Amino acid sequence: MNKITALEKTGKINLSLKEEPSSLNEIVSLKGRKTLISGAASGIGRAIAIRFAEAGSDLILVDIDKKGLDEVKEKTQLNGNAVLALCSDLSGKDAVRDLWETISPDVPDTIVNNAGIYPFKDYLQIDRNFYENTLEVNLNSVFWMCQNFIRKRGSRGGIIINISSIEALIPFKEDMAHYSVSKAGVMALTRSLARDYGRKGFRVNCVLPGAIRTPGTESLVKKAITKLQLNLIRAGINFNSRLTLGRWGKPDEVAKVVLFIASDMASYVQGTMIPVDGGFLSC
Ligand code: NAD
């Protein structure tokens, strides 16, 4: 029985050395797999959905933005793979629980926790609602998503990929303390789960993007320029000077790394934080 057939029959993720895939095509392929991607309607999440569809994965796309979700659904169901689009606001433990109830028993074997927000705000102006909302979307939703996933997968194991940020390691931009806290939490959660559940069949890793041109970052840049927010413009110039590749990245450049981690190419990659940042963290 080849690896893919075995996976289709058992739903078990191959984390051992016993069933070594023989060809590169087979190692990269996600055929017979099912991936849940949050924040799939835009930017990095959208690019991940497109690459995963190309690799043959069935998809569960989740986002708060229905229109964007429908467009990505249409774009990703061209290869005979099944695509389910679920419009959901992931802030709140109950919302996450409801999502998993909707999905069950058709549980994915891989989740990519990508949905996130990055509003700027002066630390001294931050009130409880603003702070809690950032944590709800960026950190708590990931916490509950992983818990539901591990419970539902049980002994079948699975793959978790969390999207953090370079800001968790180097808080470079002003007015982002709330965001840095949330993304540092995602890193801590990733490493804790990798330690606690690695031996139980779960591979858990996180990706740290930086300087990726997406609708989210584009709108921030536009706002800074049109409102002549000089501190943001200055931060942008300093930021760019640290990019040793000399340019911003494309969402697909993150998606390819996420695909690598989800595939058997990364079968021995565990508990890591992989920057995809054009060299930002390297200097
Ligand atoms: P984006 O704004 O283009 O896309 C984010 C998606 O998340 C949107 O489709 C949005 O609707 C969805 N979303 C937001 N709140 C949600 C909620 N409560 N429930 C469900 N969906 C929700 O952003 P992006 O730039 O593609 O960022 C994606 C992820 O990458 C985020 O977690 C972000 O923090 C992280 N990141 C991005 C960069 C970058 O340079 N773009 C850098 C570091 C980290």
pTM of the model: 0.94
Instruction: Specify whether domain 24-212+250-276 bears CATH 3.40.50.2300.
Output: no
Q: Active site residue: 123, 179, 197, 268, which one? A: 179
Structure tokens at 265: 């190419």
DSSP type of residue 244: T
122 within 8 A of 70, measured Cβ to Cβ: no
Q: How far is the CA of 116 from the centre of ligand 1 (A)?
A: 4
Q: How far is the CA of 208 from the centre of ligand 1 (A)?
A: 13
Q: How far is the CA of 182 from the centre of ligand 1 (A)?
A: 13
Amino acid at 5: T
Q: What is the pLDDT of residue 232?
A: 78
- Separation CA 207–CA 226 (nearest Å): 31
Q: How far is the CA of 114 from the centre of ligand 1 (A)?
A: 6
Q: Are strands 202-209 and 273-276 parallel, antiparallel or unpaired?
A: parallel
Q: How far is the CA of 39 from the centre of ligand 1 (A)?
A: 6
How many angstroms separate the Cα of 251 from the Cα of each of 41, 43, 198?
12, 6, 29
To test the ligand 1 pocket, which listed residue (50, 51, 63) has its Cβ within 8 A of the most ligand atoms?
A: 63
Q: Residue 54: helix, strand or coil by DSSP?
A: helix
To test the ligand 1 pocket, which listed residue (62, 142, 208, 212) has its Cβ within 8 A of the most ligand atoms?
A: 212
DSSP type of residue 32: T
Q: What is the pLDDT of residue 225?
A: 82
Q: Are strands 110-113 and 158-163 parallel, antiparallel or unpaired?
A: parallel
Q: What is the pLDDT of residue 8?
A: 45
To test the ligand 1 pocket, which listed residue (90, 118, 166, 213) has its Cβ within 8 A of the most ligand atoms?
A: 118
Q: What is the pLDDT of residue 11?
A: 64
Structure tokens at 119: 């509003």
The atom number, within ligand 1, closest to the CA of 91 reads 18
Q: What share of the chain is helix, strand, coil (3-state, %, to 5)?
A: 50, 15, 35
- Separation CA 84–CA 161 (nearest Å): 19
From the DSSP assignment, how many helices (H) and strands (E) are in the chain? Answer: 11, 7
Q: What is the pLDDT of residue 226?
A: 83
Q: What is the pLDDT of residue 222?
A: 85
pLDDT per residue, tens digit, the chain (283 aa), is 334 434 444 566 655 555 666 799 999 999 999 999 999 999 999 999 999 999 999 999 999 999 999 999 999 998 799 999 999 999 999 999 999 999 999 899 999 999 999 999 999 999 999 999 999 999 999 999 999 999 999 999 999 999 999 999 998 888 999 999 999 999 999 999 999 999 999 999 999 999 999 999 998 888 878 877 787 788 888 889 999 999 999 999 999 999 999 999 999 999 999 999 999 999 8
197 is catalytic: no
Q: What is the pLDDT of residue 15?
A: 56
Q: Whose CA is nearest to atom 37 of ligand 1?
A: 209
Residues near ligand 1 (Cβ within 6 A):
39, 41-45, 63-65, 68, 89-91, 114-118, 137, 163, 165, 209-212, 214-217
Spatial CA neighbour of 203 closest among 147, 141, 264: 264
Q: What is the pLDDT of residue 21?
A: 60
pLDDT in tens, 104-139: 998 999 999 999 999 999 999 999 999 999 999 999
Write down how long the chain is: 283
Domain ranges of the chain: 24-212+250-276, 214-248
The atom number, within ligand 1, closest to the CA of 211 reads 40
- Separation CA 182–CA 178 (nearest Å): 6
pLDDT in tens, 50-61: 999 999 999 999
